[in-house]
C-alpha cells in the first residue's frame, strides 16, 4: 500500500513534477512579494488611524466600523488628492510622449546602424544606469539652478531672440512641472528605447523594399510598414515609462513644484509626515485600480484581437 | 525576338573593392520569360536589384521600354518584384497586401476592388482574401506575392528565386502555373534562379552568370546543346570531359588526341579550333550509345562497366575507360527485363556521333 503510493508519487514527479515546480516558481514569487503585501495594504486601507506611540499607527474597532472606507471617500472628495492624481497623469503622459518622440528615432537609427557602432551606442544608452540615480537628479538640479552655466546659456539665447521688453535675468526652471517632466524624460528614456529597439530590430527590411517597389516613398513606407508593426514596442515602452513615472516620488520631491504635488509625494507625505497609514494605503489601492486595471483590460483585448483568426469566407 | 524591351548596357556594380557585376550586356524581349542562372554570389541578384532600382549601377545603363532608368527610384519604376521571402506585410490581410500597390494609382474604389478581385481570382485565392499571411500555407503565400506584384500591371516583373521556398511537388506544379499566368497577362518576366532545371522549364531564354559576368545567353536548347565554355557545359546538365589537343581540322570535323584514351575523338569543329590547340571535348550521358559489340563509326571507345544506377525507366552506367577516367552513359530501358542488358564488369563499347561531341576551346 505504502509502496504503491510512493511509486505513484515518484511517477507524478517524473512525468510532470519538475515542470510544475519550475512553472510555479514565478507565481509563488508574485504571491509572496506582490499579492500578499498588496492584501496587507488593502487591509490597512480599511483600518483606522491611531496615535499610539511605539505601535503601528492603525487599528480596528472601537467606535469605528470594522470596514472603514473613509480613506477612499476622502480620496474622491478632497480636491487635493484628485489634483495630485491629475498632475501625475499629465506629467507622466507628457514624459511618455516625449520619450516616444525622442526614443523612436533613436531606436530606429540603432537598427539601421552597422553592428559595431550599434553595440557601442546601446552601451551608451545603458551607461547612465551605472551611476547613482540620485546623483543624476542632483546634477540636473545644478544645471537648472539660476546661476548655472546651462541656465545662463539658455537665458542669453532667450534674451537674444526675443524683443526688448521680454528680457529676463534667468529662466525659472526649478520647482516646476517642466523640471519634473524634463528629469523624468531623461531618466526613463532608456525604458522607451530598449523595448522599441527590440521590436524594430526584428522587422524584416525586405518589407520596406517591397513597399518601395510597389510605389511608396520612404516616408510612406515608415507610415505603412514600420509604424504599424512597431505598435507592440510602442505599447511596451509606453507602459514602462508611464507606470513608474506616474508614481514617481524622488523626482517631484527634489525638482518639482511643492504647490502641485504628484500622487507619489502625497502618499509618502500621508505615510511619514501625517502618519495616516489608512489614508496612504487607500490612495495606493485607488491608484492601482485606476491605472493598472485599464491597462490589464486593454492588454487582454489586445492579445485576444491578435489571436482571433480572421477567417470570414 | 522583336524590339528589345529591356536593354542592359555595359552594367557593372562595385561594392567597395568587390566587383559584383561586370560589364553585363543583355536584351530581353517584350513578353519573354528570361532567366538569370548562376550559383550563389554570381551577381544575378545584384543585377535584379539594379533592375528594381534598389541598387544603382556603378557603370552602364538600363533601359526599360526605351526609357533610361538611371536615377529613377524604385517607387517610380514600372517594375515590380516578387521577393524570395515573399515579403508580405504581416499586419495586412491577403486582400490588403494585393491592394497595397494600387493606392498610388488613380482609380476609384470600385475599380480598385475589381482589380483586387481579378488578381485573387488569377491566383485562385479568393476564399483566403481576409486571412493574414501567417494563416495561409507557403504555396498560397507565394501566390499572394505574385498577385501583389502583378496588381499594378507592371511592364516588367522580377522574380527572385520564385520557387526556392516550395517543396519539390509544389514547385513543379507552380512552375506551370507561373508560365500560364505569364502567358495570360503578357507581362515580361525576369527570373533569378540557381536551379538549372527551373530555368530550362520556365524560360524562353537564359543567361548563365559566373563571377559577375554573363558567360552565355540563349535559348535553353542553345545553352544545353551548344555551350560555349567548360563552365557553361558543366553548369547545365552533366558532362564527361576529355582534355586533349587538336591534331587535324578536316572540313566539318576536328580530330582530337586525348592522352591515354587509346583512340582519337572526332568532334564537330567550332570556329577558332586549329591544329595543335588544347581543347576539351564534352560528352552528355544521353548522347553516348553503350553496346557489347563495336559499332561502325568514327568514335568508338572500349571500357568496362563499373557501376549501374537503375532508375526503372532508364539507367545510368559508369564506365571505366582505358585511361582510367570514368564516363557517365545514359541508357533507356526500352525493353522489359532484357536478358542481354549490360551488367557489372561487362566489357562494352561506347560510341557517339561527331556532332554529339561538344568541342570547347574556352
Q: A50-68, pLDDT tens digit by residue?
A: 777 666 777 776 666 667 7
The pLDDT score that the predictor gives to residue B338 is 66
DSSP B104-132: GS---HHHHHHHHHHHHHHTT-GGGTTS-
Query: What is residue B134's DSSP assignment?
Result: G
Q: Which residues of A touch B132 (CB under 8 A)?
A: 310
Mean pLDDT in residue range B313-333: 88
Mean pLDDT in residue range A275-304: 83
Residues of B with CB under 8 A from a CB of A: 52-54, 73-76, 79-81, 83, 85, 87-91, 93, 100-101, 104, 127, 130-132, 135, 148-149, 152
Minimal-distance CA residue of chain A relative to B97: A211
Residues of A with CB under 8 A from a CB of B: 204, 206-207, 209-217, 224-225, 228-229, 309-313
Q: Closest partner residue to B101 among A204, A214, A311, by Cβ? A: A214
* The three grid cell numbers given for residue B186, joined into one nine-digit string: 503578357
Distance, first Cα to last Cα, chain A: 59
Q: What is the pLDDT of residues B115-140, one digit of tens each?
A: 999 999 988 899 999 999 999 998 89
Mean pLDDT in residue range B221-249: 89
| Residues A163 and A204 occupy one common structural domain | yes
| Residues A123 and A199 occupy one common structural domain | yes
**Cα torsion through B197, B199, B203, B206, rounded to 10:** -120
The answer to whether the CB atoms of A211 and B89 lie below 8 A apart is yes
In a domain, A27, yes or no: no
Question: CA-to-CA distance for A179 and A184, rounded, in angstroms?
Answer: 8
Length of chain A: 313
Q: A18 or B200, which is more confident?
A: B200
Q: Which residues of B touch A313 (CB under 8 A)?
A: 127
In a domain, A220, yes or no: yes
| Residues A164 and A290 occupy one common structural domain | no
The pLDDT score that the predictor gives to residue A21 is 82
What mean pLDDT is reported for chain B?
A: 89
In a domain, A1, yes or no: no
The answer to whether the CB atoms of B132 and A217 lie below 8 A apart is no
In a domain, A181, yes or no: yes
Mean pLDDT in residue range A20-33: 89
What percent of chain B lies above the pLDDT cut of 70? 98
**Cα torsion through B305, B311, B314, B320, rounded to 10:** -20
* The three grid cell numbers given for residue B178, joined into one nine-digit string: 507561373
* The three grid cell numbers given for residue B85, joined into one nine-digit string: 521571402
The answer to whether the CB atoms of B75 and A216 lie below 8 A apart is yes
Question: CA-to-CA distance for B97 and A95, rounded, in angstroms?
Answer: 36
The answer to whether the CB atoms of A206 and B89 lie below 8 A apart is no
The answer to whether the CB atoms of A209 and B100 lie below 8 A apart is no
DSSP B268-295: E--TT--TT-EEEEEE-GGG-EEESSPP
Minimal-distance CA residue of chain A relative to B135: A309
The answer to whether the CB atoms of B152 and A215 lie below 8 A apart is yes
Strand order of the β-sheet with B156-160 is B79-82, B156-160, B188-193, B33-37, B205-210, B213-218
- Residue B69 banded pLDDT, cuts 50, 70, 90: very high
Rg (CA), chain B: 25
Provide the number of CB pairs (under 8 Å) joining chain A to chain B: 69
The pLDDT score that the predictor gives to residue A13 is 72
| Residues A102 and A207 occupy one common structural domain | yes
The pLDDT score that the predictor gives to residue A62 is 63
Minimal-distance CA residue of chain A relative to B145: A210
B240 phi and psi angles, rounded to 5 deg: -115, 130
Q: Which residues of A touch B91 (CB under 8 A)?
A: 228-229
Domain of residue A59: give its range: 37-48+55-77+262-299
Q: What is the CATH number of the domain that holds A208?
A: 1.10.3720.10
In a domain, A14, yes or no: no
**HEC string of A183-222?**
HHHHHHHHHHHHHHHHHHHCCCHHHHHHHHHCCCCHHHHH
The answer to whether the CB atoms of A209 and B90 lie below 8 A apart is no
Q: Closest partner residue to B80 among A214, A225, A309, by Cβ? A: A214
User: Which of A209, A228, A258 is where one domain is finished?
Assistant: A258
Length of chain B: 362
What percent of chain A lies above the pLDDT cut of 90? 51
Question: Do B114 and B98 meet the contact criterion of CB atoms below 8 Å apart?
Answer: no
| Residues A133 and A271 occupy one common structural domain | no
| Residues A115 and A198 occupy one common structural domain | yes
Q: Which of B16, B72, B75, B104 should we substitute to test contact with A (largest number of A Cβ atoms within 10 Å)?
A: B75
| Residues A67 and A107 occupy one common structural domain | no
The pLDDT score that the predictor gives to residue A307 is 60
Name the packing angle between helices A133-144 and A149-161 (round to 10°): 40
Least confident among A210-214, B221-225, B291-295, B338-342:
B338-342
| Residues A271 and A250 occupy one common structural domain | no
The pLDDT score that the predictor gives to residue A30 is 92
What percent of chain A lies above the pLDDT cut of 70? 92
| Residues A269 and A141 occupy one common structural domain | no
Q: What is the pLDDT of residues B236-252, one digit of tens each?
A: 888 888 898 898 888 88
Q: Which residues of B touch A212 (CB under 8 A)?
A: 54, 73-75
Q: What is the pLDDT of residues A114-129, one digit of tens each?
A: 888 999 999 999 998 8
The pLDDT score that the predictor gives to residue A51 is 74
* The three grid cell numbers given for residue B77, joined into one nine-digit string: 519604376
pLDDT greater than 90 at residue B44: yes
Q: Which one, of B111, B104, B14, lies nearest residue B56 by Cα?
A: B14
The pLDDT score that the predictor gives to residue A8 is 76
At B324 the three-state DSSP class reads coil
Q: Which of A202, A205, A207, A215 should we substitute to test contact with B (largest number of B Cβ atoms within 10 Å)?
A: A215
- Residue B38 banded pLDDT, cuts 50, 70, 90: very high
Minimal-distance CA residue of chain B relative to A310: B131
In a domain, A90, yes or no: no
Chain B: nearest CA to A156, how far in angstroms? 46
Q: Which of B74, B77, B80 should we substitute to test contact with A (largest number of A Cβ atoms within 10 Å)?
A: B74
Question: CA-to-CA distance for A26 and A13, rounded, in angstroms?
Answer: 19
What's the half-sphere exposure (Cβ side, CA atoms, 13 Å) at B25?
2
Total number of domains in chain A: 2
Q: What residue ranges define each of the domains in chain B, with the CATH number in brackets?
A: 4-234 (3.40.50.300), 239-360 (2.40.50.140)
The pLDDT score that the predictor gives to residue A64 is 62
| Residues A172 and A216 occupy one common structural domain | yes
**Cα torsion through A108, A113, A117, A122, rounded to 10:** 20
In a domain, A311, yes or no: no
Least confident among A171-185, A243-257, B20-34, B287-301:
B287-301
Q: Which residues of A touch B83 (CB under 8 A)?
A: 206, 209-210
Q: Closest partner residue to B75 among A206, A217, A225, by Cβ? A: A217
Question: Do A228 and B91 meet the contact criterion of CB atoms below 8 Å apart?
Answer: yes
Question: CA-to-CA distance for A93 and A90, rounded, in angstroms?
Answer: 5
Distance, first Cα to last Cα, chain B: 28
Question: Do A66 and A241 meet the contact criterion of CB atoms below 8 Å apart?
Answer: no
* The three grid cell numbers given for residue A233, joined into one nine-digit string: 514596442
Question: CA-to-CA distance for B129 and B126, rounded, in angstroms?
Answer: 5
Question: CA-to-CA distance for A229 and B311, rounded, in angstroms?
Answer: 51
| Residues A175 and A277 occupy one common structural domain | no
The pLDDT score that the predictor gives to residue A122 is 92
* The three grid cell numbers given for residue A183, joined into one nine-digit string: 528629469
The answer to whether the CB atoms of B87 and A312 lie below 8 A apart is no
pLDDT greater than 70 at residue A5: no
Mean pLDDT in residue range B279-302: 88
Q: What is the pLDDT of residues A63-103, one digit of tens each?
A: 666 677 888 888 888 888 989 999 999 999 999 999 999 99
In a domain, A126, yes or no: yes
Minimal-distance CA residue of chain B relative to A228: B91
| Residues A277 and A166 occupy one common structural domain | no
Question: CA-to-CA distance for B112 and B110, rounded, in angstroms?
Answer: 5
Q: Closest partner residue to B74 among A206, A213, A311, by Cβ? A: A213
Minimal-distance CA residue of chain A relative to B149: A214
Q: What is the pLDDT of residues A232-268, one digit of tens each?
A: 899 889 989 998 999 899 999 999 988 888 999 899 9
Residues 6+ apart with CB under 8 A from B105: B112, B152
Name the packing angle between helices A263-272 and A79-111 (round to 10°): 130
Q: Closest partner residue to B135 among A224, A229, A309, by Cβ? A: A309
* The three grid cell numbers given for residue B303, joined into one nine-digit string: 571500357
Q: Closest partner residue to B75 among A215, A225, A311, by Cβ? A: A215
Question: Do B272 and B353 meet the contact criterion of CB atoms below 8 Å apart?
Answer: no
The pLDDT score that the predictor gives to residue A311 is 42
pLDDT greater than 70 at residue B331: yes
Q: Which residues of A touch B53 (CB under 8 A)?
A: 213
The answer to whether the CB atoms of A209 and B85 lie below 8 A apart is no
Question: CA-to-CA distance for B275 and B256, rounded, in angstroms?
Answer: 9
Question: CA-to-CA distance for A279 and A73, rounded, in angstroms?
Answer: 10
The pLDDT score that the predictor gives to residue B3 is 65
Amino acid at each position: 500500500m505504502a509502496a504503491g503510493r510512493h511509486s505513484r508519487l515518484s511517477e507524478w514527479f517524473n512525468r510532470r513534477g519538475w515542470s510544475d515546480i519550475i512553472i510555479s516558481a514565478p507565481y509563488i514569487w508574485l504571491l509572496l512579494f506582490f499579492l500578499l503585501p498588496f492584501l496587507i495594504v488593502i487591509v490597512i486601507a480599511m483600518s483606522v488611524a491611531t496615535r499610539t506611540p511605539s505601535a503601528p499607527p492603525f487599528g480596528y474597532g472601537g467606535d469605528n466600523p470594522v470596514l472603514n472606507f473613509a480613506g477612499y471617500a476622502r480620496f474622491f472628495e478632497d480636491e487635493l488628492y484628485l489634483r495630485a492624481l491629475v498632475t501625475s497623469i499629465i506629467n507622466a503622459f507628457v514624459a511618455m510622449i516625449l520619450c516616444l518622440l525622442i526614443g523612436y528615432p533613436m531606436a530606429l537609427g540603432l537598427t539601421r546602424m552597422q553592428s559595431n557602432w550599434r553595440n557601442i551606442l546601446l552601451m551608451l544608452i545603458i551607461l547612465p544606469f551605472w551611476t547613482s540615480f540620485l546623483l543624476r537628479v542632483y546634477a540636473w538640479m545644478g544645471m537648472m539652478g539660476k546661476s548655472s552655466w546651462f541656465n545662463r546659456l539658455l537665458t542669453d539665447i532667450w534674451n537674444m531672440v526675443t524683443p526688448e521688453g521680454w528680457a529676463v535675468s534667468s529662466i525659472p526652471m526649478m520647482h516646476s512641472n517642466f523640471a519634473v517632466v524634463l528629469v523624468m524624460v531623461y531618466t526613463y528614456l532608456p525604458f522607451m528605447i530598449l523595448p522599441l529597439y527590440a521590436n524594430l530590430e526584428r522587422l524584416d527590411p525586405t518589407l520596406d523594399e517591397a513597399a518601395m517597389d510597389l510605389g511608396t516613398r520612404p516616408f510612406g513606407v515608415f507610415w505603412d510598414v514600420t509604424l504599424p508593426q512597431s505598435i507592440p514596442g510602442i505599447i511596451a515602452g509606453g507602459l514602462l515609462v508611464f507606470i513608474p513615472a506616474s508614481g514617481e516620488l524622488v523626482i517631484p520631491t527634489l525638482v518639482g513644484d511643492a504647490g502641485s504635488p504628484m500622487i507619489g509625494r502625497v502618499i509618502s507625505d500621508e505615510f511619514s509626515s501625517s502618519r495616516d497609514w489608512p489614508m496612504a494605503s487607500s490612495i495606493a489601492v485607488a491608484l492601482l485600480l485606476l491605472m493598472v486595471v485599464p491597462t490589464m483590460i486593454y492588454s487582454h483585448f489586445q492579445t485576444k484581437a491578435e489571436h482571433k483568426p480572421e477567417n470570414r469566407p | 525576338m522583336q524590339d528589345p524591351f529591356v536593354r542592359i548596357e555595359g552594367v557593372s556594380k562595385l561594392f567597395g573593392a568587390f566587383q559584383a557585376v561586370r560589364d553585363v550586356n543583355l536584351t530581353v524581349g517584350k513578353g519573354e520569360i528570361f532567366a538569370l542562372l548562376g550559383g550563389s554570389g554570381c551577381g544575378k541578384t545584384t543585377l535584379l536589384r539594379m533592375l528594381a532600382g534598389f541598387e544603382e549601377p556603378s557603370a552602364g545603363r538600363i533601359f526599360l521600354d526605351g526609357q533610361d532608368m538611371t536615377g529613377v527610384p524604385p517607387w517610380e519604376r514600372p517594375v515590380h518584384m516578387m521577393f524570395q521571402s515573399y515579403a508580405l506585410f504581416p499586419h495586412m490581410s491577403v486582400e490588403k497586401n494585393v491592394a497595397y500597390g494600387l493606392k498610388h494609382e488613380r482609380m476609384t474604389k470600385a475599380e480598385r476592388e475589381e482589380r483586387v478581385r481579378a488578381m485573387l481570382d488569377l491566383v485562385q485565392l479568393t476564399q483566403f482574401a481576409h486571412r493574414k499571411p501567417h494563416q495561409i500555407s507557403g504555396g498560397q503565400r507565394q501566390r499572394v506575392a505574385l498577385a501583389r506584384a502583378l496588381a499594378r500591371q507592371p511592364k516588367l516583373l522580377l522574380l527572385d528565386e520564385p520557387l526556392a521556398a516550395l517543396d519539390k511537388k509544389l514547385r513543379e506544379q507552380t512552375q506551370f502555373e507561373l508560365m500560364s499566368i505569364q502567358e495570360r497577362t503578357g507581362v515580361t518576366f525576369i527570373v533569378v534562379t540557381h536551379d538549372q532545371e527551373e530555368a530550362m522549364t520556365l524560360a524562353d531564354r537564359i543567361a548563365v552568370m559566373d563571377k559577375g559576368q554573363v558567360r552565355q545567353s540563349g535559348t535553353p536548347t542553345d545553352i544545353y546543346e551548344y555551350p560555349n565554355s567548360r563552365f557553361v557545359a558543366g553548369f547545365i546538365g552533366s558532362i564527361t570531359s576529355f582534355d586533349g589537343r587538336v591534331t587535324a581540322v578536316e572540313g566539318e570535323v576536328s580530330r582530337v588526341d586525348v592522352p591515354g584514351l587509346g583512340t582519337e575523338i572526332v568532334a564537330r569543329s567550332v570556329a577558332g579550333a586549329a591544329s595543335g590547340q588544347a581543347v576539351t571535348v564534352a560528352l552528355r550521358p544521353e548522347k553516348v550509345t553503350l553496346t557489347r559489340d563495336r559499332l561502325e563509326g568514327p568514335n568508338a571507345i572500349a571500357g568496362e562497366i563499373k557501376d549501374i544506377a537503375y532508375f526503372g525507366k532508364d539507367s545510368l552506367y559508369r564506365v571505366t575507360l582505358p585511361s582510367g577516367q570514368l564516363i557517365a552513359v545514359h541508357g533507356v530501358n526500352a525493353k522489359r527485363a532484357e536478358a542481354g542488358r549490360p551488367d557489372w564488369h561487362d566489357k562494352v563499347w561506347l560510341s557517339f556521333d561527331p556532332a554529339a561531341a561538344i568541342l570547347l576551346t574556352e
